[in-house]
Chains A and B, each alone.
Chain A
Amino acid sequence: MSIGCIYALVALGFVLIYKATEVVNFAQGELMMLGAFLAYTFISILGWNYWAGAAAAIFCMFFVGNFVDRIFLRPVLGQPQFSIVMVTIGFGYMARSAAGMVPGWGTETYAISTPFSSEGMSLVPESVGSLVISQTDLSVIIATIILCAVLYAFFTHTRLGVAMQASSQNQLAAYYMGIPVKAVFSMIWGISAAVAAAAGILLAPTTLIDTSMGFIGLKAFPAAVLGGFGSIPGAVVGGLIIGIIETLAGFYLPPGFKNVAAYVVLLVVLVVRPQGLFGQKTGKRV
C-alpha cells in the first residue's frame, strides 16, 4: 500500500508535467533521487530538524526543476515530442552521475533518521480486528492524500492552474490569450520536481537513498498509464493498483513475476484501453 503511494507520488509528477507541457519526463525518478539526497544533506550532514530539512529540500527542488526547464527544455520548446523526451533522458543520465560525483553523496547508500518509527500501530481497536500499519507507511499515505488534494484544487480552482491546462492544449492559442507559456512551463517543472522531492523523502526510510533509487521512476510509468496520462486522480489510483498488484504477485506467483507484473499490466492496459482508467478518449481532427 505504501509502495503504491510512492508510485502514485512519482506518477503524479509525470502527470503534472504531461498535463501542462505534454512532455513525458523520463528523469522524474532522478529528480526524486536528487530531492532525497538534498534532504539527506540537510538532515544528516548539516544536522537540521527533520521537518526543516524536508521543507528545505522540497523548496530547493522547486528551483532545481525550474532551472532544468530553463536550461535544457526551453531551447527545444515546440520541437517534436520525441526530442524533448530524449532531452529528459539525457538529463537523467547527467543527474544520476552528477549525484555520484558530489562530495559527501557518492555512490553509497544512506539513511535519514525520521521522527516516524517503523513499529506497527493498530488503526482500529483490537476488539474490531487487526489492522496494523507502521508509522512510516502511514506518513506516506497521509502525505499522498494531502498532496493530491492540494494539487487537484490547484489545477481546477486557481488561475495559474487553468493557465497550465490551457497552455498544454495549444501553445499558440495560450500565447494569444496572454498566458506567459514559458514561465508557466518553468513553474510546472518546479512543482513537479518538488512533488518528486517529497516522494523521495518519504521513500527514504523504506528503501534508503542511493544514486540508483531513480529507477523507481520507471515503475511509476505503469501507474501513470493505468490511470490515464494527464489525470491526477488517475495517477493516484493507478499507483495504488500497481502497488497492490505487485505485492500480490510477490505472494501468489513464482519469483520473477513481482518485477514484471507492473509492466505486464501496463502492456495489457495499453492494448485494451490506451486512454487508461480516467483518461479522455481523443481523436485527431485534420
Chain B
Amino acid sequence: MRFLFKTDYDQDIRIAKHSGYYWSYGLLLLIVFAAPFFLEGYYIGQMTQLYIIAMAGVGLMLLAGYTGLVSLGHAAFFGIGAYTEAVLTSNGVPLPFMDEPVVFPFFLSMPLAAIFAALAGVAIGVPVLRLTGIYLAIATFAFALVIEEILSRWESVTNGYTGLLVESLYVGDLELTDGAPFYFLCLGLLIVVLLMSINLLRSPTGRAMMAIRDSEISAQSMGVNLARVKTTAFALSAGVTGLAGALFAHKLGFLSPESFTVFQSLELLVLVVVGGIGSLHGAIFGAIFVLALPQGLAILKDYLPTSIAETPGMEPFIFGLILVLVIIFEPYGIYGRWLKIKHYFQMFPVYKKATFKRQKAYMKSERLK
C-alpha cells in the first residue's frame, strides 16, 4: 500500500502523482519507442493505426467524456482533416498572388488540416450551443450526414466516389509516410496531443469543461461562460480529430467518402464508451479494443465450427454485444476495470466491492417546467 502525504497544493495538479508514475510511464515510453526495431512491418502498421485512432478517440473524449457533449458525427471532422491534408499535399492549391499552385509541406498542411476541422467544429458548435443531450447528438449526426454527402458530391475537390489518391511525403530521400518513420511521426503527435489534453484538463478551461459536464446550471452559477467553453471544447475536439484524420489519409493512401460514414462516428463513440468514458486512458484502451476486436475474431474463427464462423454478420454482432455488456456491467469501461484491479492490489487484503458501486438513480425529466 502506498500512502500519499499531501504537503503542497501543487501536488493536486501535478501530472505525476508520485514517483511510481515516472517508472511505469517511462517503461511504456521505452517500449513504444523500441517497438519498431523489433517488430515486423505489419505490426508496425497496426501500431501506427492504433495511434491514429487513439488520437481521434482523445478528440472525442475531450468533448464527450469531459464536456459531456455527445457527438454522433465525429467522422465528419475526421474526414475533413483527411481530405484537407490530401488536397493540400497533392497537386497543389491555386492561391492568390502565386503564379503556380502551392504544394504545402507536411508541417504546414497538418496544422492546417487540424485548423480546418476545428473551424468546422465551431461551425456546428455555435449554432447548437443551446442543445444538450439527445438533441445535440442528433444535430451532430445530421451534420455528419451532410458532410458525408458533400464529400461524395463535391467532385472537383474530393473526386467523389472515384476516390482521391494521397501523395506520400518525403523529407529529403526518406519517405515519411510509411513504416518506421510514419510510426514515429504518429507516436510523437499522439504524445503531443495527450500532453496538451492533460495540461488542458488541469487548466481553468478544462475544469470549466468538467463543471459543465457535471451540471450545466451550477457551472453557469459559478461564472463559467457556457458558450465560450463549449465552443472551445468543440473546436479543440474537432481539431484533434482532424489532425488524426490527416494522419489517417496518409495511412490509407486512398480516400473515398465510404471511409467517413456514420458508422465511423459510431465506432469512435463505441471506442470512447468501451475504453472508459471520462479518462484519457480510456481513449487508448478503446482504440486497442476497436483495432484488436476484428483481429481477435479472425483468430477465433479458426477454432469455431465452420457453420458459425462463416456467417457474415458475426463481427458487428459481437461488437454490439460487447457494447451492451460494457454499459450494463462496466459503466467506466476498460479503464474502470483497470482501476478496480489496481485498487484491489493497492488495498489488499481489505478491498471492498462497494467502493465502485453504482449509485441508484431515478431519472427525472429534462422536459419539466
- Chain A interface (Cβ < 8 Å from any Cβ of B): 22, 24, 72, 75-79, 81-83, 85-87, 89-94, 96-101, 107, 168-172, 175, 211, 218, 221-222, 225, 229-230, 255-256, 259-260, 263-264, 266-267, 270-271, 274, 280, 282-286
A282 contacts B367, C-beta separation under 8 Å: yes
The answer to whether A22 and B320 touch across the interface, beta carbons within 8 angstroms, is no
State which of B70, B131, B146, B364 has its C-beta within 8 Å of the C-beta of A260.
Answer: B146
| List of B residues within 8 angstroms of A285 by Cβ | 368-369
Residues of B near A89 (CB, < 8 A) are 266, 269-270, 320, 323
Whether, in the assembled complex, B305 has its beta carbon less than 8 Å from a beta carbon of chain A, the answer is no
Q: In the assembled complex, which residues on chain B have CB atoms less than 8 Å from the CB atom of A284?
A: 217, 366, 368
Across the interface, do B138 and A90 meet the contact criterion of CB distance under 8 Å?
Answer: no
Majority SS at the chain A contact face? helix
A97 and B142 contacting across the interface, CB-CB below 8 Å: no
The answer to whether B368 touches A93 (Cβ under 8 A) is no
Main secondary structure of the interface of B (DSSP, over half): helix
Per-residue contact bits, chain B 96-137, to A (CB 8 Å; 1 contact, 0 not): 000000000000000000000000000000011011011101
Q: Is the CB of A274 within 8 A of B135?
A: yes
From known contacts A81-B134, A89-B323, A90-B320, infer whether A75 and B328 are also in contact, taking CB-CB under 8 Å.
yes
A214 to chain B, nearest CB (A): 12
Instruction: Give 12 CB contacts A-B under 8 Å.
Output: A22-B363, A76-B327, A78-B362, A79-B363, A86-B270, A92-B320, A93-B320, A107-B313, A221-B138, A259-B149, A260-B146, A267-B127
Q: How distant is B329 from chain A, measured CB to nearest CB, in Å?
A: 8
A148 to B358, CA, bound (A): 40
Q: Which listed residue, A87, A222, A256, A266, touches B324 by the CB 8 Å rule? A: A87
Asked if B142 and A221 make an inter-chain contact with CB atoms under 8 angstroms apart, the answer reads: yes
Chain A residues closer than 8 Å to B361, beta-carbon distance: 78-79
Compute how far the CA of A238 lies from the CA of B351 in the bound complex, rounded to whole angstroms: 54
Instruction: Given A93-B319, A284-B217, verify A100-B313 contact (CB < 8 Å).
Output: yes
Contact A101 to B311, CB < 8 A, known contacts A86-B323, A90-B323, A94-B317: yes
Contact status of A107 and B146, CB under 8 A, knowing A171-B364, A284-B366: no
Chain B stretch 278-329: residues in CB contact (< 8 A) with chain A: 311-317, 319-324, 327-328
Cα–Cα distance between A259 and B273 once the two chains are bound (Å): 30
Residues 343-369 of B, flagged 1 when their CB comes within 8 A of A and 0 if not, give 000000000000000101111111111
In Å, the complex CA distance between A257 and B366 comes to: 34
Q: What is the bound-complex CA distance between A57 and B145, given in angstroms?
A: 32
Q: CB-CB contacts of B28-60 with A at 8 A, as 1s and 0s?
A: 000000000000000000000000000000000
